[in-house]
Every structure is written in C-alpha cells, then in structure tokens.
C-alpha cells in the first residue's frame, strides 16, 4: 500500500509539539483494545451484550473456537501444508522407519530411530498449527476521527534505541503504526513486527507467531534431511545383501525411493527458507524490511543488538500478550 503524502504544514514549533502530544495520548488510548464501533451507544446495547468481539471484527481474519483461534481468510492453505507433511511422513514410518527398526532390532539405535521418526514430524506439524492459528499481533483499529482530519500529519518520527524511525498514520486503522508494524493487505489489519503473509501457513507472520513459524521451517528442513538419510540407508542395506542389484533394491524399497525424491524437491524450499531466516534472525530484520531494502542505504538497523541477542529476542522471551481478546464480549 502506498503511503499517503503528507500535506503542507504551516505551524509554529510549539503548536506542533502540543499537537503531537495530543495525538500521542489519542494513540495510546487507541492501541489498547478500543471499543468496537457503536458499542458505546445505548441503542442496541441490550442486543449486543452477548456478541463476541470477533463476530463484528472488521478485518479479514477467520475465527474458530469462539474467537480463541485466529487465522487468515484462506485458512485451507494450512490444511494442504499439513497433508504435504502427514502423507509422506506416514509413508516414511511405514516403509522406512519400521523396516529399519526391524533390521536394527536389539540395537538401541533402532528405538532412537523410531522415536525421532515420530517426534520430528510431530514438532513440524504442531508448530505449523501453532503459527497458523494464533493471533500474529493484530492491532485493533481505532474509531475514525470525528471532524476535520487535516491536522493529522501523515508521518512522524519516533526514537527507537537512539535512532529516529519514521512511522506512518494508517487511515484504515486510524492510528500511527508502531515501528515495524505494517497493514497486511490480506488480513486487512495492522500487524506488529510484520514479517510476511504466508499462504502455506494460511496467515500473516508477525510478532507473536514468528517463533513458531521458525520452528516449523527449521523442523521441516530437519524432517527432509532425516527422512532422506534413513531412506538412503535402507536402500544401501538392500544393495549390500548378496545377489541384489541396485535396481532390485530400488524395486524392493519403492517407499524409500518415493521419500528420497519427494524430500529432495521439498528441501530446496524449506532449506532455502531456513537459511534465509537464519540470516534475517542474525541481523534482526523482518522479511518485509529485507525485501524493501530498509537498511541498505546507510540506514542503521536500530533493532540489531548482535547475533546472539537477536536470536534470544525471538526464542528466549515469553510470547507477547495479545492486543485484543477476540473471545470477550464486544461491549465490555
């Protein structure tokens, strides 16, 4: 979305400062879960008493479980991704992991192999659903300003870790977007620390679900490497059997061959994505910032605190609280 152009402003420095203070107060009150439009009026209040906030939500999100589960409008993407993991992993367990376990019976390695064969896909699939079904950091819209809005400047500078960062006034959500927030065109809401919209996960990746998205990407890459290695190992065991050619071994272990071809294709996607996000994490950049070359033209990244601290910021902190409880009544 193109940012609106700032209009010409002719104000004294003092007048500008007072105005900015007023706007900051308004923003602070708006960002903390403002009431849904019309909920403050007495007309129809009785009828709305039991209406949940998600039922009148203006964004494009899809809600399940009474507003506790939040996903995007094309949520079936996550079901497709789930099947793309579940089906080959079932084939792998049935045609590779169990035969290998039998071959290695009496050996602790066989049990470990079987446990990892169940555990890794479970981590991948559960992190997929975690990232896809949680609020990515949606910022509730503020009520539209009443009267003349010419006095609202379209941009302003805020200080972040000693650096000045430009933030924009969002006319759909009616507030100055916090630094790193962006209005997602798919969800039609502003998302904190917006990373990107992911059709495979079916929702936007933001401040709250980024960690689970990374676990999904990294664990999927490990699933690919692990299943490929085990399948190759099983085929090699067959080849090593007396009077067995490579062709006969491949015919015998068609399931292992299928897995090797399937994950060889898949690993280019998830493996590439893993390397990309390892780079972004180490530099404390979002995908959106990287694509827009936000820090290329001598702009220092004010969020970069060093590689280790950047990783700790994502993996070693509590999931930030939601800005809005969609499951509560809209008129509380």
Dihedral angle, C-alpha 283, 284, 290, 295, nearest 10 °? -70
Residues binding Zn ion: number (CB under 5 A): 5
Identify the residue whose tokens are 């302003």.
156
The catalytic position among 69, 133, 190, 198 is 198
Residues numbered 21-50 forming contacts with Zn ion, rule: CB under 5 A: none
Residues numbered 143-182 forming contacts with Zn ion, rule: CB under 5 A: 170, 172-173
Of 27 and 273, the one with the shorter C-beta distance to Zn ion is: 27
Of 183 and 208, the one with the shorter C-beta distance to Zn ion is: 183
Of 172 and 282, the one with the shorter C-beta distance to Zn ion is: 172
Question: 115 has which bridge partners?
Answer: none
Residues numbered 117-146 forming contacts with Zn ion, rule: CB under 5 A: none
| Cα 274 off chain centre by | 14
Residues numbered 179-218 forming contacts with Zn ion, rule: CB under 5 A: 183, 190
Within 13 Å of residue 70, how many CA atoms lie on the same side as its CB? 28
Within 13 Å of residue 231, how many CA atoms lie on the same side as its CB? 26
Q: Which of 181, 159, 177 is nearest to 169 (CA)?
A: 177
263 binds Zn ion (CB under 5 A): no
The least CB distance from residue 124 to Zn ion, in Å, is 32
CA–CA distance, 132 with 247 (Å, rounded to integer): 42
| Whether 198 is catalytic | yes
Of 189 and 253, the one with the shorter C-beta distance to Zn ion is: 189
The least CB distance from residue 170 to Zn ion, in Å, is 4
The least CB distance from residue 125 to Zn ion, in Å, is 31
Of 134 and 190, the one with the shorter C-beta distance to Zn ion is: 190
The least CB distance from residue 138 to Zn ion, in Å, is 9
The least CB distance from residue 172 to Zn ion, in Å, is 5
Of 33 and 222, the one with the shorter C-beta distance to Zn ion is: 33
The least CB distance from residue 183 to Zn ion, in Å, is 3
Catalytic residues: 198
Residues at the contact surface with Zn ion, assessed by CB under 5 A:
170, 172-173, 183, 190
């Amino acid at each position: 979305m193109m940012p609106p152009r700032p209009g010409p402003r002719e104000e004294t420095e003092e007048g500008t400062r007072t105005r900015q203070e007023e706007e900051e107060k308004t923003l602070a009150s708006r960002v903390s879960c403002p009431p849904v439009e019309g909920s403050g009026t007495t007309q129809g209040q009785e009828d709305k008493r039991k209406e949940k906030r998600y039922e009148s939500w203006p964004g494009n999100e899809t809600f399940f479980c009474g507003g506790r589960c939040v996903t995007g409008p094309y949520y079936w993407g996550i079901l497709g991704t789930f099947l793309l993991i579940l089906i080959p992993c079932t084939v792998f367990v049935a045609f590779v992991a169990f035969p290998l376990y039998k071959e290695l019976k009496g050996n602790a390695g066989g049990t470990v192999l079987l446990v990892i064969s169940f555990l890794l896909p479970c981590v991948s699939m559960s992190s997929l659903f975690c990232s896809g079904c949680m609020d990515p950091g949606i910022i509730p819209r503020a009520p539209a300003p009443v009267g003349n809005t010419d006095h609202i400047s379209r941009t302003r500078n805020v200080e972040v870790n000693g650096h000045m960062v430009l933030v924009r006034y969002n006319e759909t959500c009616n507030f100055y977007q916090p630094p790193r927030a962006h209005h997602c065109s798919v969800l039609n809401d502003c998302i904190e620390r917006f990373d990107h919209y992911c059709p495979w996960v079916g929702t936007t990746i933001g401040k709250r679900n980024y960690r689970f998205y990374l676990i999904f990407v990294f664990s999927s890459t490990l699933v690919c490497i692990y299943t490929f290695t085990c399948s190759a190992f099983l085929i090699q065991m067959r080849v090593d059997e007396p009077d067995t050619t490579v062709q006969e071994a491949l015919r015998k272990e068609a399931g292992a061959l299928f897995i090797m071809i399937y994950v060889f294709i898949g690993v280019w996607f998830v493996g590439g994505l893993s390397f990309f996000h390892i780079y972004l994490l180490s530099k404390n950049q979002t995908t959106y910032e990287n694509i827009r070359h936000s820090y290329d033209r001598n702009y220092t990244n004010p969020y970069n605190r060093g590689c280790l601290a950047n990783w700790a910021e994502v993996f070693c902190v509590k999931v930030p609280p939601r800005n809005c409880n969609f499951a509560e009544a809209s008129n509380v």
